[in-house]
A and B are shown apart, each in its own frame.
Chain A
Amino acid sequence: MYRYELGIVDTRNIIKTLKEDFNYDFKNYALTFFKRRVENIIRLYNLKDTEGFLRKLKSDREFIEIFLKEICIESTEMFRDPSMWRVLREELLPKLLANTSSFKIWFPEVSSGEELFSLNILLKQLHFLDKVRIIASSISTKKIADIKKGKFLARKVEVNDANYKRIFSQGELSDYYKVDGDFGYWDADLVKDVEFKVDKISFDDYPKGVKFIIFRNHMIYFNQILQERCMKMLNNSMVPGGHLIIGNNEKIDYWNSDKDYVLVNAGESIYKKKLT
């Protein structure tokens, strides 16, 4: 099995070009991850090596969008970690949404949309969908376009369906999608009121007054510098008393922001921003 391997100098050159020519700053992405991702893209699009990759990037205007789509990791599945979704369904959301008329939810990187569709199916069943305002950001316009169409990879169906059954005793996940060849399509009505935002990695344009942030397994692709900057942005975005959910094996205590938060559910990595 031959695999092209990116050297450190190559990686730096690619990061430099992305910054100088396209104003995307990947300098503070986790190195192993970024390198591996670019290697995958080089293989997937038959670009042979770093030279080939850079040539493609500079000669084909569309390719930056393809790159952004590929660098942005697919969410693994619907209802990843069913126990977390059970907590949302049975405890947290009913409590938080009972006496409120405005509830702003934000996905800082919506990726392939599984977390968004999972949440909206859950909200719909709880009859809360009209009580929330959802903002979904992504660096990839292509991913956002796919989500609006409800498009997903049909090979995920089996895992998705199994997870659904671990949470809901009634109905089937297939009540919400149709499969056509290699792709499945969610009921696009589920996301018709979602506000989508294309976001560069700069973190200077974020929604304010957010009460609920779902950002699971994405900061793992950043180094600690970017994690810290990102965490500050999340913190500025969120109102006191708001909730932040990150991935099971992520922590926020590396960059001191833990003093602003209470870990309300350790098993599911649910944090609550302190009131003062």
Chain B
Amino acid sequence: MYKAVVIGGSAGSFQVITKILHSLPKNFPVPVLLSLHRLKHVRSGFVEALSIKSSIPIIEPFDKDTVKAGIGYLAPSNYHMYIELNKKIALSTEEPVNHSRPSIDLTFETAAQAYRDKLIGIILSGANRDGAYGLKKVKQLGGTAIVQDPNECQVKTMTEASLKMTQVDHIFTTQQIIRFLLNIK
């Protein structure tokens, strides 16, 4: 029933993301959209680092790429990543939101508009409030909102801000997030 998963995180989320990507089956039935805070002047290296253990291909999409199941799309450095209603990637160099470009809020909000109730939004460990508003939009438009258990997070700011703003569906540990994703159809 789900059509996409969107994941946001910043400080302290790298290992969690790596574990999740490692645990997914090769033929994961939906696309995984990754909006992660990263150094803007370091363009290369991140996608390679994520790819090492990932069981699905991870790419930094080009503008207007069509989103496909079983592929991870990492927001490129110094760009916002939107999902258009026709399920294509749109990149943007608009001003940073919450000091961030890519902004998690923007990826989540546009993904929510594109996938409505067929979207799973997951907020992981992170050091600012970016993502909280985006997760709220996911929930508002009928999607499933998940937050990593703040007790497990290296940095709690992002998850706690998300929990404050939204009545989420699940507060999950990394293992629970993985189990949940393995069961989606």
Taking beta carbons and an 8 Å cutoff, which residues of A are in contact with B?
1, 30-33, 36-37, 73-76, 80-83, 162-163, 166, 217, 219-221, 224, 227, 247-251, 254
Contacts and interface: CB of A to CB of B under 8 A. Distances in A.
16 contacts: A1-B133, A30-B90, A32-B82, A32-B84, A32-B90, A37-B94, A73-B93, A82-B41, A217-B91, A217-B93, A219-B63, A220-B63, A249-B76, A249-B79, A250-B62, A250-B91
B43 interface: yes
Contact of A224 (B64, B83, B85, B91): B64
A152 to B, nearest CB: 14
A194 B117 CA distance: 51
A264 to B, nearest CB: 18
Contacts of A221: 92
Interface string B69-94: 00000001011001111000011111
Interface of B: 41, 43, 60-64, 76, 78-79, 82-85, 90-95, 101, 110, 113, 133
B134 to A, nearest CB: 11
Given A1-B133, A31-B85, A162-B41, A249 B61 contact: yes
Given A31-B84, A224-B64, 9 more contacts: A30-B84, A33-B90, A75-B93, A82-B41, A83-B43, A220-B92, A249-B60, A249-B61, A250-B62
Contact of A249 (B83, B85, B91): B91
A249 B82 contact: no
B44 to A, nearest CB: 8
Nearest to B82: A32
A217 B63 CA distance: 9
A202 to B, nearest CB: 22
A220 B91 contact: yes
A31 B114 CA distance: 12
Question: Does more than half of chain B's interface fall in helix, strand or loop, or is it mixed?
Answer: loop
B141 to A, nearest CB: 11
A74 B76 contact: no
Contacts of B85: 31-32
Contacts of A1: 133
Given A32-B82, A32-B110, A74 B95 contact: yes
Contacts of B78: 76, 80-81
Top 3 A-B pairs, shortest CB-CB distance: A220-B63, A217-B93, A251-B62
Given A32-B110, A73-B93, A220-B90, A250 B63 contact: yes
A192 to B, nearest CB: 27
A219 B90 CA distance: 10
B93 A248 contact: no
Nearest to A40: B94
B94 A163 contact: no
Nearest to A217: B93
Contacts of A254: 64
Contacts of A31: 84-85
User: Which of B64, B79, B94 has the most chain A CB atoms closer than 10 A to its own CB?
Assistant: B64
B94 A249 contact: no
Given A217-B93, A249-B76, A33 B82 contact: yes
A74 B95 CA distance: 8
A248 B84 CA distance: 20
A162 B78 CA distance: 15
A248 B82 CA distance: 16
A190 to B, nearest CB: 22
B82 A251 contact: no
Contacts of B93: 73, 75-76, 217, 220, 247
Contacts of A83: 43
Contacts of A82: 41
A76 B61 CA distance: 20
